[in-house]
Amino acid sequence: MIVKKSRIVSMGKTNTWEDHYTRRAREERWLARSVYKLEEIDRKVRLIRSGDRVLDLGCYPGSWSQYSVLKVGPKGEVVGVDLQRPDRFSSPRFRFIAADVLSLDVAWLREQVGTRELVISDLAPATSGISVTDTSRSIELARRALEVALAVLKKGGHFLCKVFEGPEVKVFRAELAGHFARVQTHRPSAVRKASREIYLLAMNRREPVNSKP
């Protein structure tokens, strides 16, 4: 089961999710506080550029797609994939595909969206509270997102995904390094202090070996 952090509701007396970023997102009309994680990474490395074609995996509730549409401008395009449509967001530069990322036919998706300059994934597993298990599940989702990214990214394209900190992250970073020129780890300020989530940014996809003459 895949869930988005923003869809989890605290059942205690105080809504612990109601923090500075939650209030700010509401005031600035973003669909979720998670937008500030993407915004900070983008600000640091200029990840999203005018005219880019972006694929947003696990796009619900839509804040990453919402932000990306603004950044790509009138000549760019964003395609979002999720089981649930982000029905509070629409744009002529946004297209939604209803699908489970884990069972998605990658070849079919490539036919639907063509090549992309950027693939972003904020996918997260339903957490168990057992750190080793949760990290393993997050890496499984990240590997699936990478499989999709490698099918649609053009040479020089970038890939951003969320994982939970743990021993398996080092191995996954090495996998990314085999396909991209640079791999960075980011922990944006909007990540909650108690969370183990980090973001791996793989930049400048190398030319696939099987594409060489």
Closest CA to 143 of 162, 165, 167: 162
Check 75, 162, 170, 193 and give the catalytic one.
Answer: 162
**Conformation bin of residue 114: beta by default, left when phi > 0, alpha when psi is -120 to 50:** left
C-alpha Rg value of the chain to the nearest Å? 16
Which residues contact residue 65 at a Cβ distance below 8 angstroms, ignoring those fewer than 6 apart? Answer: 54, 56, 59, 78, 80, 86, 89, 94
Q: Is 162 annotated as catalytic?
A: yes
Distances (CA, A) of 3 to 82, 117, 124: 10, 26, 6
d(CA 114, CA 54): 11
d(CA 59, CA 65): 7
Active-site positions read 162
